Structure 1
């Protein structure tokens, strides 16, 4: 399992939820020790493609040593690692150049493993029917499913057989929990964070987020479900930023809970919400309990918890 940067540094509950769900589904994982940043596809690749290929290949060689496919929970990491893996397998000249660099650290890229997003593992290997049998606490949430960019594109390097403009596999996975995936305008649009835009042009980045949030609210959702920690960050922290920067342009502030896909699955499978990291969700300061989490936690009344205790301020 490859963690990347954002999950261990900002959202460790995504790792926790994924580990508990994988364990419940009997999916064995081994930690990828000593890995570096993937590195990020939108930035490093633009400045120095050879270094980008080499650093990514180094991470893949660590998975090759373990004789296991590399699995990631991040769309950006998936975009880099999967694309580099396939590019080096297909282009011997690039592979030779990269291996010359890797020699300096006593490593060699062989091309012996695959790189997989956790949605690929859940949907294409475990299968929706098998997961559905584990659902014991169906959800009644109306959610906006956000695919993100690097999960789907470029399609020729990804395992999905559907048209990237109208995919269903993530929606179908969400809906086996009992939740409803609500259609909304510009569903396939970027969250606004990727490609270095959040770092370089923050207000432009948040304008994308604002538009998506407006469309989600117009569709009547309770929560947002994501499969990428960077998209999670943009919708989570970004809501507060949008509320401040565009306060004169929005009717009322946005306060949607943002849920990673394995958190939603874990809750529907009856796993402990504390182990799913939901004590830290949503991470927006000073909010009252929200309708979405009132719906979520009615499933866990046996815990005898007051809803407000489930909300913690950002630290």
Structure 2
């Protein structure tokens, strides 16, 4: 293992980009194959791809990424699949936040490197669940860790869809230890909770952060399997639900639920706070927000 983790950083960043490419291709394939049901007569959606750059205080290279957003598709109303690789020196506020989480050495050496993939999908059909997924690696000279997970956010819940989503994740996590899935599921239930609404954001999933067992290879393999679980957990639900008819009452239910999603991401989400605090492209950070939402 390299002292400055150059090899490990390269492997992780390449994997996040590979996963991004797989998901973008799969989502455009869902657009192409939507031949029946609501909105099937429209043109299939495509991702608009743009480069993002992280702003640094001194104007030096601080990394960036790719922002891929599809708007107004036949299946996806708005979906973003972003990858990034950023580095440099953490500002004072970010240093304090990291120190509060127990990251050592922030006062003496605030250098950092981070890479990951972040995905949020908001669907046209209210019967299709919204979804979130991310995985990431973070490095400082004194620490490294992985984080991420995925969670399902239906506005109209189907018990069999929830069961499929969780069962697929469990199948991918079980090879890493039978106790892992229950712990990451419980963590997701705690993390994706909206205290001021006294309710969960959705129907849960899996979540982890600060994952460092001392075995980088094992932790990276787990992170990869969290990413690999996403498409088989989510895509079959969309293939099934995208053909269902819906009415204005269903759409109203969806827009109100999206308000909950927006509240959580703007008030509580750790990734949103970190991205804005470290100078990453604001449009990429706020990609998770729905195109339309409603409050009552």
TM-score under structure 2 length normalisation? 0.29
Query: Which structure is higher in helix share?
Result: 1
More strand by share: 2
